[in-house]
Amino acid sequence: MISFNKPHITGNELNYISDAISRGKTAGDGYYTKACQELLSDLYGFPKAFLTTSCTDALELAALLINIQPGDEVIMPSYTFVSMPNAFLLRGAKIVFADSNIDNPNIDIIKIESLITPATKAIVVVHYAGIACDMDLLKEITDKHKLFLIEDAAQAIDSYYKGKPLGTFGHLAAFSFHETKNISCGEGGLLVINDESFFKRAEIIREKGTNRSAFFRGEVDKYNWVDIGSSFLPSDMLAAFLYAQLENIDNIQNRRKLIWNTYYDSLLPLEKTGLVKLPRLPTYCTNNAHIFYMVFNDLEIRTAYIDHMKANKIQTVFHYIGLHNSPFYKDKHDDRNLPMVEMYQDCLVRLPLFYDLEINDVEKVVKTTLSFFQ
């Protein structure tokens, strides 16, 4: 079976984990946690970056930082993972789901302003497949209405918008290092803070609402409970694993882009004949090769394709189900139809894409895909 995903091991993960243990500090904010935060800040110019146990935790920390209260409204795409709305629902927010673009699954920015009310507090966007939203247009809207902008950049490590890294546009941004991501440590995340007014409080909330970090720096003589908070720190052993990945980010990205480009070039004839749609990259953004997807003309054809690939021992998978129609939220959603979300949930399929995928296996995926349409 050619699996959909397989986590890549660069070779130094166990060495660095062993080193973290030998240093005598395996809890959070140890040597490797700080090394990862510094390396990521150096690579992408993040003003402040805090490792978290997951992207989910980073989003929950963001919701705490912007002080979400019951009754606040937060606009976000329906075609996304449940971690995004959950982070704000836990603080009492009302979620207002938006439709996707016709050209890609990102939020339809043109329709956002019609969803803004006096209760709107934030707009949260996801860069699906690492493909950037139009950040200039988004910032124009959030600045005009004095709203917080949060980037869910779970899939967007090493992606750029007009030459600037994703994760540096919103007040806050969240990244994922889950095993399905380009760079991983099994489970892990990152909160990026671009608004310096959040720097101090983020550190406190991340440390269970205490000023413990300031105490360890010698800035206070004892640490106290000074704010609400929770435990968002990953073990330094996870950070050690992640550091080995980050050291090899260029190599990992180059390999993934080679596979992505092979798929695109080989399957382009299918798009030209109208059988599928391939990913469309706006001119303002780069491709980080996180996901290669195809969009079929209807659910029946997609289902038949997935079955065909499975019969040939190739795992291809669909992605999100629109959250506005989920069992949990459909009764809370208003009456608006979100046709593009429903199209992507029914028609989008993802192909295997991971560092260790051999080229002959890529060719098999292509050949088997083409044989389906023959």
Give the model's pLDDT for residue 215: 82
Give the model's pLDDT for residue 174: 98
Q: Which residues of the chain have pLDDT under 50?
A: none
Residues 6 or more apart whose CB falls under 8 angstroms from that of 180 comprise 5
pLDDT digits (tens, 9 = 90+) for 255-293: 999 999 999 999 999 999 999 999 999 999 999 999 999
What number of residues does the chain have? 374
- What is the phi/psi pair of residue 247, to 5°? -60, -25
Mean pLDDT, the chain, integer: 97
Give the model's pLDDT for residue 203: 93
DSSP string spanning 187-236? S-EEEEE-SGGGHHHHHHHHBTTB-HHHHHTTSSSS--B-S---B-PPPH
Give the model's pLDDT for residue 212: 85
Question: Which residues sit opposite 189 in a β-bridge?
Answer: 52, 176
Contact assessment for residue 72 and residue 119, using Cβ atoms and an 8 Å cutoff: yes
